[in-house]
């Protein structure tokens, strides 16, 4: 080979090396360049079935990166392609690789919906319908149709939805949340039923759920639940009517105007425990675990009556005479002005 040829070959080699180094330097800078947003964070949704290539092309269209192919080759070489679909919050000033790592880990945004103790199925449906991040699939269905979707063998959904805060990914369906709440209530009820007291007056787990729903509606004071359950347990044992206002209100349905009257107490429905003996046919709300525990572990004693004191708690009595005096004290003269009307002493709990 001539000296000239060797020099040309050397120049070509140097040129190739220079180009290679330039490409490596360019790629290094591109791979390590952070993605900056106008705000501190950016929401991004990885759609179901999306590939790393599709995501990187989205990043380019958003103006976050210039050369998606460089990032794709790097990620594929390091086997970082198994991304999870979902909604993510991406922090500013991260590299593309750091963002993709987040998608691989599945660190998604979780939304929440709260089911409150003592609320009804319809209340829970309203909460679900108001949530913009849920996939609304039940909007035009009746409660009976929804119940059949959750469990075809279930006759009534009331009481079967466990009150809790449920976390979910954006795009989760309302039916999925209800199914989760149903399964959780089944688990809680089964656990509590297996550990029930011998003093419990109920004959089945479902009866426990019914009684627990009444206990839940009667008081918001946790320390009273067992005592209230004790009153109802003793009434059931001696064949005395429960005479509890929340069941009457539930039976009135949309006809209830917020103020219970003597007429309401005398209007017979399957849920009127002033006109009928025993438990109502179904729960009247969705009870929490503490109320279920109280229904299955009632407090011992001899109290048969209680009256609301107007401060969220109750006065308990063992005799009708003591109870009537308590009604006069707490509901006729001592109650707050905004406290709902009560039945006459001889007709109250």
**Same domain (yes/no): 86, 129:** no
**Same domain (yes/no): 85, 134:** no
What pLDDT was estimated at residue 32? 60
> Of 2-6, 53-57, 176-180, 322-326, where does mean pLDDT reach its minimum?
2-6
Q: Is residue 58 part of a domain?
A: yes
**Same domain (yes/no): 86, 203:** no
C-alpha distances out from residue 325 to 267, 328, 330, Å: 26, 5, 9
Q: Rounded mean pLDDT of 329-346?
A: 48
**Same domain (yes/no): 178, 203:** no
**Same domain (yes/no): 245, 306:** yes
Q: How many domains does the chain have?
A: 3
98 CB contacts (<8 Å, ≥6 apart)? none
Of 72 and 304, more confident: 304
Q: Is the pLDDT of residue 12 over 50?
A: yes
Q: Is residue 165 part of a domain?
A: yes
Which is nearest to 182 in space by CA: 210, 154, 142? 154
**Same domain (yes/no): 81, 214:** no
**Same domain (yes/no): 203, 343:** yes
Q: Is residue 340 part of a domain?
A: yes
**Per-residue model confidence as pLDDT tens digits over 19-60:** 544 444 444 455 567 777 777 788 899 988 899 999 989 988
Q: Last residue of a domain, which of 87, 108, 129? A: 108
Which is nearest to 348 in space by CA: 220, 255, 262? 262
What is the β-pairing status of strands 110-114 and 305-308?
unpaired
**Same domain (yes/no): 264, 253:** yes
What DSSP string describes 264-312? HHHS--TT-TTTS-S--SS-SS---HHHHHHHHSPPPS---EEEE-SSS
Three-state SS for 163? coil
**Per-residue model confidence as pLDDT tens digits over 77-97:** 889 889 999 999 988 888 888
**Same domain (yes/no): 340, 205:** yes
**Same domain (yes/no): 85, 115:** no
**Same domain (yes/no): 282, 327:** yes
Q: How many CB atoms lie within 10 A of CB 128?
A: 21
Q: Last residue of a domain, which of 127, 159, 189? A: 189
Q: How many CB atoms lie within 10 A of CB 162?
A: 23
**Which domain covers residue 339, as residue numbers?**
197-347
**Same domain (yes/no): 256, 296:** yes
Cα torsion angle, 205, 304, 259, 116, sign: negative
C-alpha distances out from residue 207 to 154, 306, 347, Å: 15, 22, 25
C-alpha distances out from residue 261 to 178, 282, 334, 340, Å: 35, 23, 19, 10
- Asked if 137 contacts 260 with a C-beta cutoff of 8 angstroms, the reply is no
Three-state SS for 34? strand
- Asked if 212 contacts 294 with a C-beta cutoff of 8 angstroms, the reply is yes
């Amino acid at each position: 080979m001539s000296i000239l040829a060797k020099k040309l070959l050397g120049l070509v080699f140097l040129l190739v090396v220079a180009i290679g180094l330039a490409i490596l330097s360019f790629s290094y800078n591109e791979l390590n360049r952070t993605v900056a947003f106008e705000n501190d964070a950016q929401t991004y949704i990885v759609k179901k079935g999306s590939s790393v290539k599709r995501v990187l092309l989205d990043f380019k269209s958003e103006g976050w990166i210039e050369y998606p192919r460089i990032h794709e080759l790097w990620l594929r070489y390091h086997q970082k392609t198994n991304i999870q679909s979902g909604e993510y919050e991406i922090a500013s000033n991260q590299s593309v690789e750091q963002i993709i790592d987040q998608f691989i880990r599945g660190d998604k945004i979780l939304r929440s919906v709260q089911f409150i103790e003592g609320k009804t199925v319809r209340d829970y449906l309203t909460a679900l319908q108001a949530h913009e991040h849920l996939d609304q699939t039940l909007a035009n269905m009746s409660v009976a149709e929804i119940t059949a979707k959750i469990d075809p063998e279930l006759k009534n959904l009331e009481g079967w939805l466990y009150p809790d805060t449920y976390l979910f990914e954006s795009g989760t369906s309302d039916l999925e949340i209800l199914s989760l709440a149903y399964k959780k209530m089944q688990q809680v009820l089964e656990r509590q039923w297996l550990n029930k007291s011998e003093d419990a007056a109920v004959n089945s787990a479902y009866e426990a759920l019914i009684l627990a729903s009444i206990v839940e509606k009667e008081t918001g004071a946790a320390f009273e639940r067992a005592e209230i359950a004790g009153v109802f347990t003793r009434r059931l044992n001696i064949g005395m009517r429960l005479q509890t206002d929340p069941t009457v209100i539930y039976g009135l349905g949309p006809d209830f105007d917020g103020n219970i009257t003597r007429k309401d107490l005398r209007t017979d429905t399957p849920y009127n425990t002033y006109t009928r003996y025993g438990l109502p046919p179904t729960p009247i709300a969705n009870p929490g675990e503490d109320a279920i525990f109280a229904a299955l572990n009632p407090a011992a004693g001899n109290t048969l009556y209680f009256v609301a004191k107007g401060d969220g708690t109750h006065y308990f009595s063992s005799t009708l005479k003591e109870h009537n005096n308590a009604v006069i004290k707490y509901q006729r003269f001592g109650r707050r002005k905004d406290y709902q009307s009560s039945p006459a002493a001889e007709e109250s709990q």
